[in-house]
Amino acid sequence: MTFKPARLLVLLFAAAALPVMAQNLAVVNGKSIPSSRADVMVKQMTAQGQPDSPQLRGAVKEELINREILMQEADKQGLSNNADVKNQLELARQGIVIRALIGDYLKKHPVADADIKAEYDKFKAQAGDKEYHARHILVDKEEDAKAIIAKLKAGTKFEDLAKQSKDTGSAANGGDLDWATPASFVKPFSDAMVALKKGDITETPVKTQFGYHVIKLEDTRPAKVPTLEEVKPQIAEALQQKKLQAYQEELRKKAKVQ
């Protein structure tokens, strides 16, 4: 079988065009949609839990074709040159590039397991080995707190007097603060609380930045501190945020801002 020169030339051009066509998902009004764009969208959707499948890829193809048609129409109407649209596009571009920068930085500066363990040990030390079940009544004036203490000594129920507390969240529950570690409270409060015995009430008002407290200790129990494995993801994320904050502050110091 022989080919005429013209026929051979057509076949050669067709063969050369095949790799280019394979790189395109579709061509809309002469404008190509690259297959790599579909790959990015599929990656985003599978990351959200959708399984990669022919149906998903078909839906992605249709979506990208529809987007291209709408974009071409928007360009025809000159909307791409709208100042507000340009600003939104720039903000979106910045967000994408910054996420890439952050991802690259964290990849090159991962949080070490030793740092996570050290942070966990610090957390355990701050939490202590006991949890406290306390109640409190919070008022603005010291004399009001002293009057409450006098009424409590005379036999008035703590739960009844707690209704006048400034802390509306606990006032409706008789001043109940539930179980918590001392580290959950400001230091003057926690110092006074841990000094109490079960059933005791503070003899004098406890002053904090919130006002004057009257504290009653209901009970204590051994602290239920989560294991390292239970809180490792949260600690790792917090340390990552610290790294990123330090990195941003370092860049800000080097930047010339006028």
Query: What region does 213 belong to: left with phi over 0, alpha with psi -120 to 50, or beta?
Result: beta
State how far the Cα of 111 lies from the Cα of 240, in Å rounded to an integer. Answer: 7
Going by pLDDT thresholds of 50, 70 and 90, the confidence category of residue 223 is confident
- Pure H helices in the chain: 5-22, 35-47, 54-76, 83-108, 113-127, 142-153, 158-161, 168-171, 187-194, 228-254
In the beta sheet, which residues pair with residue 33?
26
The answer on pLDDT for 97 being more than 70 is yes
- Residue 6 is predicted with a pLDDT of 52
pLDDT one-digit tens code per residue, 53-71 = 999 999 999 999 999 999 9
Residue 153 structure tokens? 């000594």
The answer on pLDDT for 1 being more than 90 is no
The answer on pLDDT for 234 being more than 70 is yes
Please indicate, yes or no, whether the overall pTM of this predicted structure exceeds 0.85: no
Residue 16 structure tokens? 């050369």
Q: Collect all residues with Cβ–Cβ distance below 8 Å to 202 and sequence separation of at least 6.
A: 149, 192, 196, 213, 214, 215, 216
pLDDT, average across residues 94-101:
97
Going by pLDDT thresholds of 50, 70 and 90, the confidence category of residue 204 is very high
Do strands 130-139 and 31-34 pair parallel, antiparallel, or not at all (unpaired)? unpaired
| Residue scoring higher pLDDT (136 or 20) | 136
| Residue scoring higher pLDDT (223 or 179) | 179
Helix 113-127 to helix 228-254 angle, to the nearest 10 degrees? 110
Report the mean per-residue pLDDT for the chain.
91
pLDDT one-digit tens code per residue, 7-39 = 544 444 444 444 444 589 999 999 999 999 999
